[in-house]
Structure 1
Amino acid sequence: MEMSYFACYNVTLSASNKIWMTDDVMIKRIPLLSLQIAYNILASRLFYFILKPLHVPLIVAQMLAGFALSPTLFGRFEQVFTLFYGQHGILAIETFSNLGIMYYVFLSGLEMNSETILRSRKKGTSIAVAGIVTSMLFGVGLFTLQHKLEDNEDMISRKPNKQNQAYLFWCLALSVTGFPVLARILANLKLLYTKLGKDALTAAMLTDVYGWVLFTLLIPYSNNGGKPYLSAITTLLFIVFCFTVVRPILVPIIEHKTSTNTWRKSHILDVLMGVFICSYITDFLGTHPIVGAFVFGLILPHGKFADMVMEMSDDFVSGILCPAFFSGFGFRLNLPYLWKQQNSGLMLLIMLLLCIPKVLSSLIVTFFFGMPARDGLAIGLLLNTKGIMAVILLNVAWDKRILEPYAFMVMMMAIIVMTVIVSPLINAIYKPKFRFMQSQLRTVQKLRFDMELRVVACVHNAKQSYGMIKVLEAINASRVSPVHVSAVHLVELTRHGTAILVSQMDNTIGSQAEFETITDIFEGFTQQYNAVRFDTSSVVSSYATIHEDINNVAEEKRASIILLPFHKEYITSESSIEINNNEHCEINKNVLQQAPCSVGIFVDRGLGSLSKTNMRIITIFIGGSDDREALSIAWRMARHSETQLHVVRILLLGKAAEKAKELKTSKTKSNGMLSTVMDDVMQKELDEEYILSFRLKAVNNNDSIVYSEREVHSDKSEEIPTLLNEIDKPGYDLYVVGQGSGKNSPVFLRLLKWCDHPELGVIGDILASTSFGTHSSVLIVQQYLPGRKRVVRKCHREIKSGPEIL
């Protein structure tokens, strides 16, 4: 048998050679260990960078770092192998890696919430149970098949109990799912907050729990000699003791320290000592050290405490300690040994068949729940994601010689292949751009008055929720035209662990108090209006990509419009501006560019409640799809008996019209005459048709709706602000304007160059400016059009120590 993996270590120690009497350890051990750690970190990061376009998890990159030094690649060169894994360095790096995996498992337990497991949904539970049962049954058959296909000369004789253990380890490794790895994959693919992502996470969490339970019971029976049943029973009693005695003692103390801000970073040492103690106890009882580490993480409180522990230790554990363990797993992969077997082709087929059980079971269960076959296929692929549990199971089976080398490598290859192909396949199945283009036009204008209006209202804090409530109140929900509001609390992701915490806690972690306040605000709004339904959720992501999550939520909710808060807060009484966060401006800009429905940006200047006062709304109509969308929203608002609507249409005549014609002529020469002329003619026809319909159906039948026209003859840019000042003299509560108003006019194009906030458009930027002098709130609307691309300038970077008086 061409295998060189079984290594023996000389652990004989000399009592006279004390560590404080010699420098042997510092000279011979530490430099080599440092070199090994440095290689594992650098190589894993290199592989992760190369495979980043495929969204491959970091755990796979760490395995590939070890595989690079295996006998398949550079390990064939004795000098290279000796440099990194000399005889004196293997034991040290294995000790270091075991320490790392112990803390990694502790953090995994800290991320998992046991309460969520108890209230799991029926669909997710059914998918998990079906996946476990199917994988165990398929695993027995495939293991028997591959066992018979092995060459007789490579068979390792074993006792019957070893054969039974081999079946259990093989099947359990096939059935488990890497919950933390899966959560990060869903976060990277922006599917974490969709129904698909939630169902997959629920099933993965239950499968992970099943794996830990069976792992705890299985490990004692893999040891030679002893009383395994006694070890299993005492370990279970210890777990019960942790939950019933240790947890009630620790949780109040920790929560008190975190709530009073008396928790210090030095207290992290106490937490690490707890990990050591629990790991030692489970190891002493005959199970495995990681069981104690996982249980200790599971009994600690979540929320702010978990955030602090993760923030202080996650990068060190995941970035420095863990690569040594996973690279050691990849180091054991020997591809030449696999290809030399007689039935290597059939073994490759078995490797592929190992991917089928989870997919098959998910397709069957999702079919009974009425889900599309594409969702069932996607969930099955996601549940094939493997993580730390599968790796540890195979490592234990290898160290104790339970699995034969060939069976070990077949399953090892299957684990790597399953985890690698998940992200590319899911990304191919759920292409966001493809889904958005295939969807119907999702606009308020295309929505009939007797249909439910679905709104995604995004807020960063509770204060913005009050403003959003006023806009939703003005939309005028009724039994004939109900409104479904999906309130989304946007939270910045500062580290990858937060996404997992939020996703499995039903979005009640992160900024828990803020989220609860937001929920209460929207709940109070729906209690006043029976025609309004609402649901709240948190989206935790980096600000650079959070717009993708917002778009996915809008797609999931089949929304007609997304409402976003303006990134500045206006304090009318003091006439000052407070900059919330300039990154919020970038979020709004990104949503405008890629949204699957219409978008509205709300500039709040203290919009009053419709239930307390009559609301005066004004719409500036110049022309184009955005203005038609703005008018349709204002028209819907005007159906309320306490609302007065004034629609002002601005007509470009004289020199302004001549300049517009010159601009169109130049565009025609550069872009093609036929397309430019047809688009211009079609837009004019649509404008006239919609205005005519509005005047016939709304103005003539409702005394509270007024329509007027204003003419612009000059091509000077100053005339537009002057005209807007005249229009604003009566004073209005809310402006509803289109984002692209007058985009084809030279007058507006010149003004656009001076806009502080191009994402608001020319009219919106003027109205939002404090120099304009209005106290009205503004809703700037962009209508969804297929293939629409908008390029706006980067938001200005403004650094201020406090509110600026303008």
Structure 2
Amino acid sequence: MSTHQMTTFFLALAAISLLAFAAGALARRLRQPPVIGEVLLGVLLGPTLLNGTVSDALFPEDIRPLLAALANIGVALFMFAVGAELDAGLMRGRRFVAGAVAVGSIILPFLLGVLLALYLFGSHPTDDRTGFVLFMGAAMSVTAFPVLARILTDRGMQRTWLGTVALACAAIDDVLAWTLLAVVVAMSGAGTGSQWLLLLFVPYVVLMFTVVRPGLRRLLEHRRLTGPGNPAAMVLTLSGLLLSAAFTEWIGLHFIFGAFIFGAVMPRRTTRGEPSDVTGQVRERISSLNDFLLLPMFFIVAGLKVDLAGMNGTDLLELGLILAVAVGGKFVGAFAAARATGMQNRPATALAVLINTRGLTELIILTVGLQLGALDGELYSIMVVMALVTTAMAGPLLQLIYPVRPMPPGTGPAVPPAGRTGGGQETFLTDLAPDNVNSENAPIRE
């Protein structure tokens, strides 16, 4: 690597960090998740504006492979964090409604996505029609757990009944969506490994949960390894997630699955059953650099592949159809399932809106689809717009449905029931509370 390349590379890293921070701050001022501003920045720096003049000046072709490599590390760390944030405790007392809504919000958009793919295949043909159809179904089914969690946290709803149900649904959605994507990747045969190596995936997952997870729990409790100021926990975690990512890439699946699974097996409790804070501490330390440099780099690399300058009437029609399927399928599926469990109209509507959040998770899936050849450049660009729209609309719609109101002094919130009623269905009683109580934001009592 020449001195000129190294200099340009460091300048590009500085530009990415500064511009992404500014874009995220602007998004926050507009009451949007920072990911919206960061993704828009990547799109605007790409060929959409000025025919790529800005991106060519900031990110010359000879350093883009380096940026892409660091972006992949950022994605792996992000997927680890997603897996580590999955908490089975969210399901406590809410398994019925969360499971029903999650399944409803996956099945309907998946089926509609498959039907839409059959229509789009004529204008966006690929070598593998089955892979294209299944991929579009999976892409329509995604919910972004981290972005949804951020929206709820910003509104102080992460500990409410509605907030925890939404998080539980998103967690189940994530697992199902990644499973669907793994099937698509395996069927495409586009991985680096042979088809026979894919058979190792099931025993690998079993081994991770039955052997690696207990082993990690014991290691992370050992004072000599994880005492104050000891970096052993971080080294063990980074090494483990990178090895896991390398394994799934080697057998023919994408590295994101290995990183996600390693995050999922990180222990939440000690061998004595007490809550463990080691996983949270490691996740926070990993996220520090990732949030300010590596993930913004992924947005830049992804944005450089988006070209909206040449969109015509046909592209706008396809965008409209994709938005209708993505938004309508998720909303109707989640809303119908929520109502079927006994939830009332307003909380069911809010839950369906939240489940439509896609964010960075959708971008990762779209990037995988582009790498597999399941998407061409035009359809990839349109799908990125869909991811932005569905994420940006969640906050304003939620504010419209559930406007945040200050609690009267000394007023205690009513607590919605988290258990199952005698009728065999979980019931959401928020709308039955007195009008002067902001019960939709009531905290959970575990």
Q: If the length of structure 2 is used for normalisation, what is the TM-score?
A: 0.85
Q: Partner of 1:410 in structure 2?
A: 382
- Structure 2 residue identity aligned to 1:245: V
Say yes or no: does 1:398 pair with 2:284: no
Q: Partner of 1:331 in structure 2?
A: 304
Q: Is the 8 A contact 1:110 1:298 kept in 2?
A: yes
- Structure 1 residue identity aligned to 2:393: I
Quick one: distance in 2 between partners of 1:282 and 1:368?
38
Q: Is the 8 A contact 1:103 1:317 kept in 2?
A: yes
Say yes or no: does 1:200 pair with 2:166: yes
Say yes or no: does 1:92 pair with 2:66: yes
TM-superposed CA distance for 1:114, in Å, is 4.8
TM-superposed CA distance for 1:413, in Å, is 1.3
Q: Partner of 1:292 in structure 2?
A: 258
- Structure 1 residue identity aligned to 2:27: L
Say yes or no: does 1:69 pair with 2:60: no
Say yes or no: does 1:234 pair with 2:200: yes
TM-superposed CA distance for 1:485, in Å, is 9.2
TM-superposed CA distance for 1:35, in Å, is 2.0
Q: Is the 8 A contact 1:55 1:185 kept in 2?
A: no
Say yes or no: does 1:352 pair with 2:323: yes
5+ long unaligned stretches in structure 1: 1-23, 444-454, 457-483, 487-505, 507-550, 559-806
TM-superposed CA distance for 1:324, in Å, is 0.5
TM-superposed CA distance for 1:552, in Å, is 5.5
Secondary structure of the residue aligned to 1:276 is: helix
String of CA shifts for 1:333-379, please: whole Å, max 9, x gaps: 211222x3x42442242133021111112221222233232222211
Q: Partner of 2:289 in structure 1?
A: 316
Q: Is the 8 A contact 1:128 1:203 kept in 2?
A: yes
Q: State which drifts further: 342-351 or 92-101.
A: 342-351
Change (3 A) 1:103 1:32: same
Q: Partner of 1:130 in structure 2?
A: 104
Which of 307, 314, 328 is matched with 2:280 structurally? 307
TM-superposed CA distance for 1:50, in Å, is 1.8
Q: Partner of 2:239 in structure 1?
A: 273
Which of 21, 39, 55 is matched with 2:15 structurally? 39
C-alpha RMSD over aligned residues? 3.0
Quick one: distance in 2 between partners of 1:45 and 1:194?
30
Q: State which drifts further: 232-241 or 49-58.
A: 49-58
Quick one: distance in 2 between partners of 1:133 and 1:127?
10
Say yes or no: does 1:217 pair with 2:193: no
Quick one: distance in 2 between partners of 1:318 and 1:553?
34
Q: Partner of 2:428 in structure 1?
A: none
Secondary structure of the residue aligned to 1:51 is: helix
Secondary structure of the residue aligned to 2:285 is: helix
Q: Partner of 2:442 in structure 1?
A: 556
Secondary structure of the residue aligned to 1:333 is: coil
TM-superposed CA distance for 1:86, in Å, is 1.1
Change (3 A) 1:30 1:140: same
Quick one: distance in 2 between partners of 1:390 and 1:277?
24
Quick one: distance in 2 between partners of 1:113 and 1:406?
37
Secondary structure of the residue aligned to 1:183 is: helix
String of CA shifts for 1:620-661, please: whole Å, max 9, x gaps: xxxxxxxxxxxxxxxxxxxxxxxxxxxxxxxxxxxxxxxxxx
Quick one: distance in 1 between partners of 2:387 and 2:146?
15
TM-superposed CA distance for 1:77, in Å, is 5.4
Q: Partner of 1:535 in structure 2?
A: none
String of CA shifts for 1:148-185, please: whole Å, max 9, x gaps: 5x4xxxx54x44xx111111111111101111111111
Q: Partner of 2:142 in structure 1?
A: 176
TM-superposed CA distance for 1:243, in Å, is 1.2
Q: For 1:766-777, what aligned pairs fall within 5 Å after superposition? A: none
Q: Is the 8 A contact 2:101 2:335 kept in 1?
A: no
TM-superposed CA distance for 1:205, in Å, is 0.7
TM-superposed CA distance for 1:115, in Å, is 6.2
Quick one: distance in 1 between partners of 2:156 and 2:79?
25
- Structure 2 residue identity aligned to 1:280: A
Secondary structure of the residue aligned to 1:233 is: helix
Change (3 A) 1:93 1:332: same
Change (3 A) 1:281 1:270: same
Quick one: distance in 2 between partners of 1:347 and 1:222?
24
Change (3 A) 1:216 1:258: farther
Change (3 A) 1:375 1:117: closer
String of CA shifts for 1:259-283, please: whole Å, max 9, x gaps: 9845613542232122221111111
Matched positions, count: 417
- Structure 1 residue identity aligned to 2:291: S
Q: Partner of 1:186 in structure 2?
A: 152
- Structure 1 residue identity aligned to 2:246: Y
Quick one: distance in 1 between partners of 2:66 and 2:254?
19
Q: Is the 8 A contact 2:192 2:250 kept in 1?
A: no
Q: Partner of 2:271 in structure 1?
A: none
TM-superposed CA distance for 1:229, in Å, is 4.8
Quick one: distance in 2 between partners of 1:556 and 1:270?
39
String of CA shifts for 1:109-150, please: whole Å, max 9, x gaps: 2222356569751011100001111011111222233445x4
Secondary structure of the residue aligned to 1:417 is: helix
Q: Is the 8 A contact 2:194 2:251 kept in 1?
A: no
Quick one: distance in 1 between partners of 2:440 and 2:92?
29
TM-superposed CA distance for 1:405, in Å, is 2.9
Q: Is the 8 A contact 1:221 1:228 kept in 2?
A: no
TM-superposed CA distance for 1:188, in Å, is 0.7
Q: Is the 8 A contact 1:359 1:376 kept in 2?
A: no
Quick one: distance in 1 between partners of 2:189 and 2:74?
23
Q: Is the 8 A contact 1:282 1:289 kept in 2?
A: yes
String of CA shifts for 1:56-82, please: whole Å, max 9, x gaps: 2222222112112122224x253x332
Secondary structure of the residue aligned to 1:250 is: helix
Change (3 A) 1:225 1:271: closer
TM-superposed CA distance for 1:287, in Å, is 1.0
Q: Is the 8 A contact 1:69 1:331 kept in 2?
A: yes
Q: Is the 8 A contact 2:77 2:286 kept in 1?
A: no
Q: Is the 8 A contact 2:192 2:251 kept in 1?
A: no
String of CA shifts for 1:356-414, please: whole Å, max 9, x gaps: 11111222122223323222221111111114432222112212322233332222211
5+ long unaligned stretches in structure 2: 269-275, 419-436
Quick one: distance in 2 between partners of 1:146 and 1:324?
30
- Structure 2 residue identity aligned to 1:165: G
Q: Partner of 2:273 in structure 1?
A: none
Change (3 A) 1:411 1:555: closer
Q: Partner of 2:434 in structure 1?
A: none
Q: For 1:660-679, what aligned pairs fall within 5 Å after superposition? A: none
Q: Is the 8 A contact 2:24 2:37 kept in 1?
A: yes
Change (3 A) 1:119 1:257: farther
Comparing both structures, which one devotes a greater share of its residues to helix?
A: 2
Quick one: distance in 2 between partners of 1:172 and 1:50?
31
Quick one: distance in 1 between partners of 2:443 and 2:206?
42
Quick one: distance in 2 between partners of 1:260 and 1:270?
10
Quick one: distance in 2 between partners of 1:405 and 1:359?
28
Q: Partner of 2:56 in structure 1?
A: 82
TM-superposed CA distance for 1:195, in Å, is 2.0
Change (3 A) 1:71 1:554: closer
Q: Is the 8 A contact 2:101 2:337 kept in 1?
A: yes
Q: Is the 8 A contact 2:189 2:195 kept in 1?
A: no
Say yes or no: does 1:251 pair with 2:217: yes
Quick one: distance in 2 between partners of 1:267 and 1:121?
32
Q: For 1:428-443, what aligned pairs fall within 5 Å after superposition? A: 428-433=400-405
TM-superposed CA distance for 1:215, in Å, is 2.6
TM-superposed CA distance for 1:254, in Å, is 0.8
Change (3 A) 1:274 1:552: farther
Secondary structure of the residue aligned to 1:432 is: coil
String of CA shifts for 1:671-725, please: whole Å, max 9, x gaps: xxxxxxxxxxxxxxxxxxxxxxxxxxxxxxxxxxxxxxxxxxxxxxxxxxxxxxx
Secondary structure of the residue aligned to 1:286 is: coil
